[in-house]
Structure 1
């Protein structure tokens, strides 16, 4: 049984292509959340998961803010009425 599981996992590892992981904000959030969860009642795994989610959320907010600053008013017109939009 153990040999079968090892063989199956090795085959899956070889067969599946590598994926690029984007862990912006997740690593720092995981570390902080894990420590806080540990001290809050030995829930370090739940704290790490929550910290990762929160760190990722903050990284997305930061990325959106930087993108919006780079584009300025000429980037998107989603907030403007349809009559203001320029047809290119």
Structure 2
């Protein structure tokens, strides 16, 4: 359980440390939040995948507005 949170945190930090902007905007933030929420429910990987999809969708929606 702690391993999943550690892996997600390490992935997010590695992605943020990179010099290039992410292609999938909103995915990393959504994946971290979804992974933590899914972890609490016993489905960390599914939560991370769903969080990535929702975060990407919201980022695209926000980009079209402004």
TM-score band, normalised by shorter chain? 0.5 to 0.7
Q: Which has the higher helix share?
A: 2
Cα distance, 1:23 vs structure 2: 2.0
Aligned residues: 46
- What does 1:60-71 correspond to in 2, within 5 Å? 60-66=60-66
Q: C-alpha separation between the residues in 1 aligned to 2:34 and 2:24?
A: 15
Q: C-alpha separation between the residues in 2 aligned to 1:22 and 1:45?
A: 21
Q: C-alpha separation between the residues in 2 aligned to 1:38 and 1:29?
A: 14
Gaps of 5+ in 2: 1-21
**Residues 1:58 and 2:58 aligned together:** yes
Gaps of 5+ in 1: 1-20, 67-88
Q: Deviations over 1:8-52 (max 9, x none)?
A: xxxxxxxxxxxxx61200000000000000001x20000000000
Indicate the residue corresponding to 2:32 in structure 1. 31
Q: Once superposed, which parts of structure 1, at least 4 consecutive aligned residues long, lie more than 3 Å away?
A: none
